[in-house]
Amino acid sequence: MLPYIFAEKKGIHIIDLNKTTEALQETAAALKQIARSGKKILFVGTKKQAKDIVTECAQRVNMPFVTERWLGGMLTNFNTVRKSVKKMQSIEKMLGDGSFDSITKKERLTLTRDKEKMEKVLGGIAQLGRVPAALFIVDIGHEHIALAEAKRLGITTFGVVDTNCDPNKVDFSIPANDDATKSIAIITNYITAAIAEGLAERQAAKDEEVEDTSSDENEKKAARLEAEAQAEGGRGGRGRGPGAGGQRRRIQGGAGGGRGPGGGRR
């Protein structure tokens, strides 16, 4: 952390905020690109100071989060964790549609407690269908298990790094105080804003693509209708030509026949 320390005063290290700003902007740009590509970013912050902030920010951009306790193997043993999530969702569904009305009150209470316990730990990753593309970690020292699992799977890591941690352990480090609520809030909100911007750009690109597709389809449809109209006009013109000629011939023939007898009578 020496390159990021501005000074030391009474045994307290002061972080260089210029370095923090640069790292924060670089991290935000990288996370924005990941969000724009449609991949998931897992927010991790189980410290008391970070729980509420991380939960609120992750929910704002519809990203998965872990704020209660990091279960060992949450990433490396993801399939097993998904089974627990599906069990939780199944219990919740059955409690909602009345499937448990036939069981005893004690059994229903036990299942409700199990669901609440699982929801507390797994509720933030209930919608996570696959391993996330990146991890945003508040205090990499406190979340060392999550960091180790991400490194093992080759997942890109972003972290708030204090002076008591090694910034080289994460791919993108943000030197900052990870114990102060205000510091965590400023950094997490900035990161969330960048992710929201990336998601908005992705949605705008999708809408533009849909508009282009519909415009192309409309142009093709108009060209097809125009071609059909021209073909129909050509067939109509050919049909009227012989008919008109035949009518003229009949008129001429009738006129000639009338003059013949008239001439004979004269």
pLDDT less than 50: residues of the chain: 242-266
Q: Copy the structure tokens of residue 166.
A: 């090694």
Question: According to the model, what pLDDT value does residue 228 have?
Answer: 75
Question: According to the model, what pLDDT value does residue 260 have?
Answer: 46
Whether the model pTM is above 0.85: no
Per-residue pLDDT of 19-72, as tens digits, reads 999 999 999 999 999 999 999 999 999 999 899 999 999 999 999 999 988 988
Q: How far is CA 259 from the centre of its chain?
A: 90
Per-residue pLDDT of 148-172, as tens digits, reads 999 999 999 999 998 888 889 999 9
Gyration radius of the chain's alpha carbons: 37
From CA 162, how far away is CA 193, in angstroms rounded? Answer: 22
Question: According to the model, what pLDDT value does residue 235 have?
Answer: 66
Which class in CATH covers the domain with range 2-75+131-208?
A: alpha beta
SS3 content of the chain, % helix, strand, coil (to 5): 65, 10, 25
For the chain, the domains span 2-75+131-208
Cα atoms in the 13 Å half-sphere on the side-chain side of 248: 6
In the numeric block, the tokens 């001429």 are attached to: 252
